[in-house]
Amino acid sequence: MCPPILRRLFRRLAPLAAGLLALLVAQPAPAVAAPAAAGLVQVTGFGSNPGNLQMFAYTPDNVAAGAPLVVALHGCTQSANAYYSSSGWPKYADLWGFDVVFPQTTSANNALSCFGWFDQAESTRGRGEAASVVQMVEYAKQTYGSDGRRVYVTGLSAGGGMTADLLAAYPDVFAGGSVASGLPAQCATSQAAASGCQTGPQKLSPAQWGDKVRASYPGWTGPWPRVAIWQGTSDYTVYPANATALRDQWTDVWGIGQTPSSTQSLPGSTTRSVYTDAAGRPAVETFSVAGMGHGLPVSPGSGTEQCGAAAAYFLNTICSAYHTGLFWGLDQDGPGGEQGLPAPAGLKVTEVTGSGASLAWNAVGGAASYAVYRDGAKVATTASTSFADTGLAPGATYRWTVAAVSSSGTVGATSSPVTATTPGGTAPARCFTASNYAHVTAGRAHTSGGHAYANGSGQDMGLYNVFVTHTLRESPAGHFVIADSGCQA
């Protein structure tokens, strides 16, 4: 019986060029192991694998050749299966149509199953784990027909540190990256120096941080990857200073300043800061999650902007996969990228009612039409520079972006988003039951004098430990009260 991944391979080979087909037929088929979880399949024989990694892949059945590829790197003590189950990336692979590769390291490489972001034998071009990850990308391009112009890498903690190293060493492979609770590229070059980076990276200038990237692939002058940076303000494992260093590093590489072009408040007490390139497109974005500890931001639920599952180091705040995917343009119909039209400027909400909102933006030269996206899903194509979105729910918050479409149908860069809340209705409260330690880690409470206190109300929850448990009710966002006697969401 033919394994599922090979059935997908045969189906996807149909639209590929004959030369590539001949190349694939001439090579022996890679071995495919049994699924590690529903939809997640291990692939062996993807290359010489100098970093001794394992490759897992999630390839939705309805994804055609020429789709983007996302590489997702787990954190220490985690696995590919954990990242597949909790990060939220499979949801958007299904929704927007792309494949995901989940590399996995083991205790054979590192006692805590950490990727070797601090080891130049593992994190530099052509060597170790970094080279193994790139071999997985090449396998995906050949087997799944992934678009080599739209390959992205993301990771948490040690996986975030390796993400930054991969972006620096392979800017010719990765169009963008997302570093969650991670480290600047080449922050440490030995395991002994790793802990120093985590608690407080070197006090370098943006140019010095940028030099570490430029030295990772000498002679490369661009284009550079577009980088998202996620960080909790209460992270005491990888301190927030690393997010600042990452911002300095990648804005310097892009040749732009460290002052954001715009800022925006997002759910989960998150502040998004955008740093645009010379063409006005977002090149670097930072997402600062107030009160969040060490972990990947997720937001369990069925809404378009919700994803993932809360677990150890997967913290219920905001769906980082969704906002990262928008930043990379994964929600768009085509590659866009460098070949597409520039992003429309001046997008604004001109009117809001209980059931609709009106938008307007500046014209883009060469645009035949404009694609309008609400919460990441396209809702209209219009030849006008304005649009009235109707059928909205009262008392709900929506997010819109717009992209110019050329006469050939190529979708260009996405605009900076705008948000609006329709009047009427009441946002439902949310309830959380967990230990005081977990509440603090998730950003729902804070500590003082050995006790935990609910954020917003300041109520004393008792000793800060894993033994005292409370139910907290959140309403409005960011304001928590003790609701042990009953909590109606």
The pLDDT assigned to 110 comes to 94
Assign residue 411 the CATH number of its domain: 2.60.40.10
Could you give the number of structural domains in the chain? 3
Is 201 found in the same domain as 78? yes
Is 456 found in the same domain as 376? no
Of the candidates 144, 138, 173, the one whose C-alpha atom is nearest the C-alpha of residue 16 is: 144
- Catalytic option among 157, 178, 181, 416: 157
Amino acid identity at 273: S
In a domain, 113, yes or no: yes
Is 29 found in the same domain as 147? yes
CA distance 364 to 87: 36
The pLDDT assigned to 302 comes to 93
DSSP designation for 84 = H
Is 54 found in the same domain as 99? yes
What are the beta bridge partners of residue 387? 359
| Residue whose structure tokens are 């009427």 | 424
In a domain, 121, yes or no: yes
CA distance 389 to 402: 13
In a domain, 408, yes or no: yes
DSSP designation for 367 = -
Sequence-ordered list of residues with C-beta below 8 angstroms from that of 190, at least 6 positions apart, any chain:
118, 119
The pLDDT assigned to 36 comes to 41
DSSP designation for 452 = E
Range of the domain at 158: 4-331
Supply φ then ψ for residue 251, to 5 degrees: -70, -35
The pLDDT assigned to 19 comes to 32
The answer to whether 282 touches 275, Cβ cutoff 8 Å, is: yes
Q: Name the pTM for this structure.
A: 0.67
The pLDDT assigned to 350 comes to 92
Assign residue 139 the CATH number of its domain: 3.40.50.1820
In a domain, 489, yes or no: no
In a domain, 141, yes or no: yes
What are the beta bridge partners of residue 54? 104
Task: Classify 80 as helix, strand or coil.
Answer: helix
Of 421, 445, 473, the position where a domain reaches its end is 421
Task: Classify 282 as helix, strand or coil.
Answer: strand
Is 458 found in the same domain as 353? no
CA distance 89 to 331: 13
Of the candidates 137, 138, 116, the one whose C-alpha atom is nearest the C-alpha of residue 183 is: 116
Of 297, 331, 365, the position where a domain reaches its end is 331
| 320 labelled catalytic | no
Is 308 found in the same domain as 170? yes
Is 452 found in the same domain as 371? no
Q: Where are the beta strands (DSSP E) in 347-410?
A: 348-352, 356-360, 369-374, 377-382, 386-390, 397-405
Is 198 found in the same domain as 116? yes
Is 358 found in the same domain as 285? no
Is 152 found in the same domain as 19? yes
Is 71 found in the same domain as 27? yes
pLDDT per residue, tens digit, the chain (489 aa), is 344 344 354 444 433 333 322 222 233 333 433 334 448 999 999 999 999 999 999 999 888 888 999 999 999 999 999 999 999 999 999 999 999 999 999 999 999 999 999 999 999 999 999 999 999 999 999 999 999 999 999 999 999 999 999 999 999 999 999 999 999 999 998 888 998 999 988 889 999 999 999 999 999 988 999 999 999 999 999 999 999 999 999 999 999 999 998 899 999 999 999 999 887 889 999 999 999 999 999 999 999 999 999 999 999 999 999 999 999 999 875 443 334 678 899 999 999 998 899 999 999 988 899 989 887 678 899 999 999 999 998 878 888 888 888 877 777 777 878 888 888 765 567 888 888 888 887 888 888 777 888 888 888 898 888 788 899 888 777 788 888 888 765
Is 377 found in the same domain as 293? no
In a domain, 274, yes or no: yes
The pLDDT assigned to 428 comes to 65
Of 313, 331, 349, the position where a domain reaches its end is 331
Amino acid identity at 351: E
In a domain, 397, yes or no: yes
CA distance 464 to 38: 37
In a domain, 487, yes or no: no
